[in-house]
Amino acid sequence: MTGFLGAAEEYLALRRSVGFKLTGAGPLLSDFASYLASNGAETITTEVALTWALRSPSPSQAAFRLQTVRTFASYLQAIDPRTEVPPAGLLTDPGRRSVPYLYSETEIASLMAAARALSPALWAATCETVIGLLWATGMRIGEVLRLDRSDVDFDTGVLTVWETKFNKSRHVPLAASTLSALADYDRHRRKSRLCPDPPSFFVSMAGRRLHYRGFSTAFIGLLAATGIPSVPVTRRPRIHDLRHSFAVTTLLRWYRTGEDVQALLPRLSTYLGHADPASTYWYLSAAPELLALAAERLEPTEGQES
């Protein structure tokens, strides 16, 4: 350990190297490091982090201070296992992003298996295919629900998302397995002989366009049926967290396979329909493992100067 201040400087350099500006985090972590030193702290604990954060008279600023420490502590825990990471949601600010729940592949498989057990058969197929599409593409749930049959091109393997968030349209290329699953669902829906036959790709039990409320109710039931999450968390996993999970999983795969993540980030931003790459950079702080992998990229190789 090089001391809290030195560790904070290394952490800030790492995150700035992957695109974060962190203009406010620098002074805060410097102050926090001084606070730890003045109190003789040997490691970060939830108690000392919370006490320091609450020195701010503003609830919003206190929440920001604690979140700054949380991210730093996640990084530091890989160096010093004694480090405590304050629980998410301990101090909340309604104006800030919630920490996402990151689904595992096992959990997604369990959700889709539970969906297959629903009835009637078309409803089971609808729920299973929607979950699979969200996991495989990172699309927003609203984008999936608005899909028409004409938006799915089985010849080219591309979805067209029209006038979505920020009034942008985009094309979403599909993996062969995802396209096959959509084709299976398309055949299932057509065999159901719904009357009237809606233009929407995904349909409800009434044979009309699938709406958020109906799917959300089913999704909450599937979470309960599968016991997800399997460990205590501060809030229930959301449908939108499937999008977060897709982004983080993609970034992890790129890091693990040695891809040039910096060069590929703008492509991921376009694929997800973000207004600018800055929104995509946020995912680099969503999982401590991502920061650890990014740190490995910055370590000098043998024979290079540090």
The residues carrying an active-site annotation are 140, 165, 240, 243, 274, 283
Instruction: Say if residues 255 and 290 touch (Cβ distance below 8 Å).
Output: yes
Q: How many CA atoms lie within 13 A of 160 on its CB side?
A: 11
Mode of pairing for the β-strands spanning 158-161 and 152-153:
antiparallel
Q: What angle do CA 294, 297, 300 make, to 5 degrees?
A: 140
> Do 262 and 221 meet the contact criterion of CB atoms below 8 Å apart?
no
H helix runs in the chain, sequence order: 4-17, 25-38, 46-53, 59-77, 105-116, 121-137, 141-145, 176-191, 212-226, 241-256, 261-272, 277-281, 288-298
The answer to whether the peptide bond before residue 120 is cis (omega within 30 degrees of 0) is yes
**What CA–CA distance (Å, rounded) separates 248 from 134?**
14
